[in-house]
Amino acid sequence: MNRKYRLSVALDIDDVLMECVPYAIRLANEKYKFDPPLTIYEVDHWGTLGTRADVIFEFFQDPEFFRTQPVIKGAKKLVRQLSQMAEVFVSTSIYHQFMGIRAQRIMEEFPEIPPDHIYMGARKDKIHVDILFDDGMHNVSASDAAYPILLRRPWNQAATGMLAVNNYDEFLKLVEVISDSYRVRLEPPVYGEPGIIVLVGPSGSGKNAVAKVLSKKCASLEKLISYTTDASVGLQGGEWYHYITLDSFRKLYEQGELFESTTYAGHSYGSRKADVEAILKNGKHVLTVMDICGAMALKTHFPNVTTVFIRRDKRALLTELLEKNLSTEEKVSRLMALDAEMRNADICDYTVDMTTPEEAAREIIKGLSLTRRKKGGA
């Protein structure tokens, strides 16, 4: 008999449940009539920027700002749904003189959260919960939570290797996956209908090499070609990625064409829902290589998604990374993210040890029963 465990989740307020930066930008545009208007993309990192966007900080000194902060669309529904899945807390950093206003707003807008579950203070690393959901990269990186999760915003795009989501639906799916990770999967899936296989692993794990072998061995698999702003990746023959400019990437995202987007080592990556649907419509399984954030987005938008973590000895990972033709800055970013990425094995459906790409591919084919999809094999 399995013991029932109820997860504990701490939610940030500013730009997670209530608008903060976007609200300040609207107020600044109304007051100062900026031409062109100030946009959220100008707030591209945390703290003072040395640009015209610094004007938003004046609104953070006004108690009326905190009394009138709009609740983000869908935030109330998120809290209601999450309360059915986990024990919900609030962890919010706010100036001490506005703490009373903040507490009152939380109790009014989110009655599902008990008043004694509201914690205020900048030291979020002292909050001991299973999951922290925050838009502050510094809070996520320092968190003591088992699973700190970042909500993607323009000011945290430099984050690499962190668990991150783009919206509430992806967050709820990730909470569900984390909860399911406590259960043991007994039977491997046998794909009767077209499904999606996602290879996940840290930089240097060899997941791209495994995917290449799989795509050659299994005619039932078709590679998903994604998009990236990293020219060094996207211009290398276009095997897994199309290169596009940052402006083009943002346009795809804003038009809702990308079902997932993430940032790794300063570069944006994303995939189009229409591309996945086209492969499935043709009766093929989708094969793709993504970070854990993209994998969770797939699970949010599509059924029958299986994540396979490619595990490799840490010494081999470090050697591979150091030998890559990358800038020192990018190597440092990937090395710092390594431990966090290795932990993602815990929330993937399966783990395969990397010996050789061929052996890892054989294990995946066997474990997922791909050759039994239909007559004629893979």
What is d(CA 154, CA 39) in angstroms, rounded to the nearest whole number? Answer: 10
Among candidates 80, 26, 78, which has minimal Cα distance to 55?
A: 26
Q: Which residues pair with 328 in a beta bridge?
A: none
**Closest to 344 measured CA to CA, from 305, 303, 300, 293:** 293
Three-class DSSP category at 249: helix
Three-class DSSP category at 1? coil
In this predicted structure, the answer to whether residue 349 has a pLDDT above a threshold of 60 is yes
Q: Are 54 and 81 in contact (CB under 8 A)?
A: no
CB-based contacts of 32, cutoff 8 Å, min separation 6: 55
pLDDT of 191 > 60? The answer is no
Global pTM?
0.79
Q: How many CB atoms lie within 10 A of CB 50?
A: 7
Residue-wise pLDDT tens digits, 271-319: 999 999 999 999 999 999 988 888 888 898 888 899 999 999 888 888 8
State pLDDT tens for residues 192-235: 567 899 999 988 899 989 999 999 988 889 999 889 988 876 54
DSSP state string for 44-94: -SSS--SSGGGGGGGGGG-HHHHHHPPBPTTHHHHHHHHHHHEEEEEEE--
In one-letter notation, the amino acid at residue 153 is R
Q: How many CB atoms lie within 10 A of CB 376?
A: 8
Helix axes 328-342, 314-323, angle to 10 degrees: 160
pLDDT of residue 36: 96
What are the tens digits of pLDDT across the range 64-97? 999 999 999 999 999 999 999 999 999 999 999 9
Angle at 239 between CA 326 and CA 279, to 5 degrees: 135
Q: How do residues 19-35 score in pLDDT, each as one tens digit?
A: 999 999 999 999 999 99
User: What does the mean pLDDT of the chain come to?
Assistant: 87
Phi, psi of 367, deg, nearest 5? -65, -35
Q: Which domains does the chain have, with CATH numbers?
A: 7-180 (3.40.50.1000), 196-372 (3.40.50.300)
Spatial distance between the Cα atoms of 276 and 269, rounded to a whole number of angstroms: 15
Cα separation, 169 vs 205, whole angstroms: 29
- 372: Cβ contacts below 8 Å, ≥ 6 apart: 190
Is pLDDT above 90 for 320? no
Among the listed residues 2, 14, 6, 16, the one whose alpha carbon sits nearest the alpha carbon of residue 130: 6
Q: Give the position of tokens 């990437």.
A: 249
Helices (H), the chain: 21-32, 63-68, 75-85, 99-109, 137-142, 168-180, 207-217, 231-234, 246-254, 273-281, 292-301, 314-323, 328-342, 357-367
265 pLDDT more than 70: no
Helix (H) or strand (E) holding 311: strand 305-311
